[in-house]
Amino acid sequence: MGKILQVKDLELSFHTFAGEVKAIRGVSFDLNKGETLAIVGESGSGKSVTTKSIMRLLPESSSEFKSGEILFNGNDLTKLSDRQMQKIRGKEISMIFQDPMTSLNPTMTIGKQVMEPILKHQKISKAKAKEVGMDLLRMVGIPNPEARFKMYPHQFSGGQRQRIVIAIALACNPKILIADEPTTALDVTIQAQILELMKDIQNKVDTSIIFITHDLGVVANVADRVAVMYGGRIVEVGTVDEIFYNPQHPYTWGLLSSMPSMDLAEEKLYAIPGTPPDLLNPPVGDAFALRSEYALQIDMEQAPPMFKVSDTHYAATWLLHPNAPHVDPPKTIIERMKTFRGSRYYEQATGGDA
Amino acid sequence: MMAEKLLEVKNLKQYFNAGKPSEVRAIDNISFDIYRGETFGLVGESGCGKSTTGRTIIRLYDATDGEVLYDGVSVHAKKSKSEVKALNRKMQMIFQDPYASLNPRMKVLDIIAEGLDVHGLAKNPKERKQKVVELLETVGLNKEHADRYPHEFSGGQRQRIGIARALAVNPEFIIADEPISALDVSIQAQVVNLLKDLQKEKGLTYLFIAHDLSMVKYISDRIGVMYFGKLVEMAPADVLYKNPLHPYTKSLLSAIPLPDPIYERSRVRQPYDPKQHNYGTDEKVEFREVTPGHFVLCSEKEFKEMNVLAN
């Protein structure tokens, strides 16, 4: 498995009237070839900012790379000029946005919009580009593309528009596709169709996907690996099974517990108390400590490093330190851990408690 | 608990642009009851008419046809000003978008107290302020928040303000139109728990409109499923999830991704096409009770098949 993208110790700040907002505070992750990496976290956790900084879509006047690098094809994307970046954007790395209503140009026919990246990045004739565009629309499931080519975005439904946005993003066979909450604005049935489409396309064209979402159900459906972000940092990263069946960070526990399950009839839903941290004055130590019932004294004083759980699984919580006291996660989490080989609650027998 | 009907919706129709070529049948002949003290969930995809139903019930729209009875009194019949006021005190609404539903130029104090002012529930400014502070504390905010403006709050806090505003006039019945859709996961659970606690404390009745089926199941006693302006299935929450009968409900349930990767790998989505029913022209498609309390929109033939399966 080759690494196609490496983000190393990225730190980024926004300069606002109120002061410096430290939106990303040391984020590192790798993206492997052909995989889907899901980044989860609530609003303000820095997940969208991370991907926008990869695409260099943040306003240069107010944002600043403090340190770190984003390595793609041996180049550090944070150091490239605008002109060099334009050759990568839409060709090597492309992006799908949350709202398909606003990410298409309402005054251009969708045919023109699909052809735009092809004509920009590839040296082919207009007629050929049109052919490629039609194929793309067919691939994403727009019926009768010949007739649809001359239509405008408002003549399509939300789900169809998102399909068109995906067609545009795929126009130049990008190596990386960044999908920023691509299904949040859609209904469950349409969401299911779009997710199926994305998986289908990934099988065909072998691109790597970074999938941003806050819906853990969607993550379980699409992801190979998951990174959980909180307060501008990645607090836990692992394979999808490791995150869902052997989570280690109290924030991941909280996220998983606050989802109502379909079969259990709990009286009260677990809710993470409090609100996300203010990144104008980020807390010293573990950003989640103030909302966590598992916080230790050291959490208030020093930020935890990434502790290794397995070769693919890392979590930033002092609870994993050898000297930390033993704590049991919430009950629903223990239930999850029981099914995971390698977790400390794993039960061999399927019969239940011994 | 299944005792007293608080709200009866009978053959309600809401057509927009009625009679014109652009006629939209947003609600097409639906009937259901809501009992006192329960939570009735209404689900369906966007454009199915679930929000319109909520808005018609509270008389934000005039119904095209049919009746809404609240405690035996018709909501849409002609009324004097004082009768309208009396009804408005009993029924309140919480809106989806906590950013758009609060006036940005008003202080939280005045936003929450507006209902008190309209209904003359506070005798003097001191009492008014005191009532607002009590309400803020009920929803988990504190009295310093009263003198701030909406933009100073997060989404979850704003939704709490919206809830406090609805509670100000001591209503019996609250229509919550997608109250958590715009909120973060960790905050959604907080707001849902707050709504549940308030229900227990004050004996409230809810109509909970949403498209997030997992949350709806968690909060509702009974659930109605809407599809293109029609109610296609209605049942107690756990029955609906364990034993959905209408193919659309099955399709909807099979589309929900759950936070469980092993289950996700084997989940098969069932598509729904209204043509699959193949109704004949003489077949009567009606809302029929298959098992006690479990209603399905179906033809006589389908009804018999479901009955065989159910018994």
Contacts of A43 in chain B (CB under 8 A): 155, 184
Inter-chain touch B45–A188, beta carbons under 8 Å: yes
Contacts of A270 in chain B (CB under 8 A): 189
Minimum CA–CA partner of A240 in chain B: B261
Q: Residue A354: what pLDDT?
A: 37
SS3 of chain A: helix, strand, coil, percent, to 5:
35, 20, 45
- Give me A31's structure tokens: 């993206």
Distance CA A6, CA A70 (A): 6
Q: Pick from A227, A316, A290, A254: which is nearest to A47 by CA?
A: A227
Phi, psi torsion values for A47, nearest 5 degrees: -70, -40
Minimum CA–CA partner of B189 in chain A: A271
Give chain B's contact residues with A (Cβ, < 8 Å).
45-46, 154-157, 184-190, 192-193, 196, 211, 213-215, 217-218, 238, 241, 251-252, 255-264, 267, 269, 272
Q: Residue A275: what pLDDT?
A: 80
Q: Which amino acid is at A43?
A: S
- Give me A149's structure tokens: 């080519």
How do residues B224-253 score in pLDDT, each as one tens digit?
999 999 999 999 999 999 999 999 999 999
Residue A271, chain B, CB below 8 Å: the answer is: yes
Inter-chain touch A217–B258, beta carbons under 8 Å: yes
Q: Residue B251: what pLDDT?
A: 92
Q: Which stretches of chain B score pLDDT less than 50?
A: 1
Minimum CA–CA partner of A42 in chain B: B184
Residue listed under structure tokens 């999830």: B241
Residue A18, chain B, CB below 8 Å: the answer is: no
Distance CA B214, CA B210 (A): 10
Contacts of A219 in chain B (CB under 8 A): 259
- Give me A124's structure tokens: 């082919």
Q: Which ranges of chain A would DSSP assign to H, the alpha helix?
A: 47-55, 82-88, 110-121, 126-139, 145-148, 158-170, 188-205, 216-222, 240-245, 250-257, 297-301, 331-338
Inter-chain touch A42–B217, beta carbons under 8 Å: no
Phi, psi torsion values for B207, nearest 5 degrees: -110, 115
Q: Which amino acid is at A249?
A: H
Q: Which stretches of chain A score pLDDT less than 70?
A: 1, 261-267, 348-354
**Identity of the residue in A217, A244, A269 whose CB atom sits nearest the CB atom of B256:** A217
Q: DSSP code of A291?
A: G
Q: Residue A348: what pLDDT?
A: 65
Angle among Cα B87, B88, B89 to the nearest 5 degrees reads 90
Phi, psi torsion values for A67, nearest 5 degrees: -165, 180
Residue A320, chain B, CB below 8 Å: the answer is: no
Classify the complex by whether its ipTM is higher than 0.85, answering yes or no. Answer: no
Contacts of A266 in chain B (CB under 8 A): 218
What are the CA-CA distances from residue A278 to residues A14, B108, B282 (Å)?
A: 13, 22, 64
Q: How far is A84 from chain B (nearest CA, A)?
A: 37
- pTM for the whole thing? 0.86
Inter-chain touch A262–B185, beta carbons under 8 Å: no
Q: Residue B305: what pLDDT?
A: 86
Inter-chain touch A192–B269, beta carbons under 8 Å: yes
Q: What number of C-beta contacts closer than 8 Å exist between A and B?
A: 109
Q: Where are the beta strands (DSSP E) in chain B?
A: 5-16, 24-35, 39-43, 65-70, 73-74, 91-94, 173-177, 205-210, 222-227, 230-236, 286-291, 294-298
Inter-chain touch B185–A258, beta carbons under 8 Å: yes
A contact residues 210-239, partner B, Cβ 8 Å cutoff = 214-221, 223
How do residues B10-62 score in pLDDT, each as one tens digit?
999 999 988 888 888 999 999 999 999 999 999 988 888 999 999 999 999 99
Q: Pick from A320, A323, A324, A289: which is nearest to A303 by CA?
A: A289
Q: How far is B116 from chain A (nearest CA, A)?
A: 29
Inter-chain touch A188–B46, beta carbons under 8 Å: no
Q: Residue B221: what pLDDT?
A: 94
Inter-chain touch A268–B255, beta carbons under 8 Å: no
- Cβ neighbors of B99 (< 8 A, separation 6 or more) are B150, B155, B158, B182
Q: Residue B56: what pLDDT?
A: 94
Beta strand pairing call for B222-227 and B205-210: unpaired
Contacts of A220 in chain B (CB under 8 A): 257-261, 263-264
Q: Residue A33: what pLDDT?
A: 92
Q: How far is A279 from chain B (nearest CA, A)?
A: 14
Query: DSSP string spanning A226-274?
Result: EEEEETTEEEEEEEHHHHHHS--SHHHHHHHHTSPPSS---SS-----S
Beta carbons within 10 angstroms of residue B290's beta carbon: 21
Q: How far is B77 from chain A (nearest CA, A)?
A: 35
Q: How far is B9 from chain A (nearest CA, A)?
A: 26
Q: Pick from A68, A97, A86: which is nearest to A169 by CA?
A: A97
A178 three-class SS: strand
Inter-chain touch B259–A244, beta carbons under 8 Å: yes
Inter-chain touch A268–B193, beta carbons under 8 Å: yes
Q: Residue B153: what pLDDT?
A: 87
